[in-house]
Amino acid sequence: MPSLIRLLVILGILGGIGYGTLWAFATLVKPQMREMSIVVPADRFAK
């Protein structure tokens, strides 16, 4: 039983670290806005 509790604690800690990393990326990293343009070939409109 102690090995099961140790496994659950380790998995909980790893899950918390992963959740914290995702939260930090979502709140602290701001994407750069830039203009995009895509050229569409004329033969795509012929169909």
Q: Which pLDDT value is given to residue 47?
A: 61
- The CA distance from 16 to 36, in Å, is 37
Q: Is the sign of the CA dihedral 20, 23, 29, 32 positive or negative?
A: positive
Residues of the chain with confidence (pLDDT) below 70: 47
- The CA distance from 32 to 25, in Å, is 14
- The CA distance from 22 to 45, in Å, is 42
CA 15 to chain CA centroid, nearest Å = 14
Q: Which pLDDT value is given to residue 1?
A: 79
Residue 7 tokens read as: 């496994």
Q: What is the pTM of this model?
A: 0.59
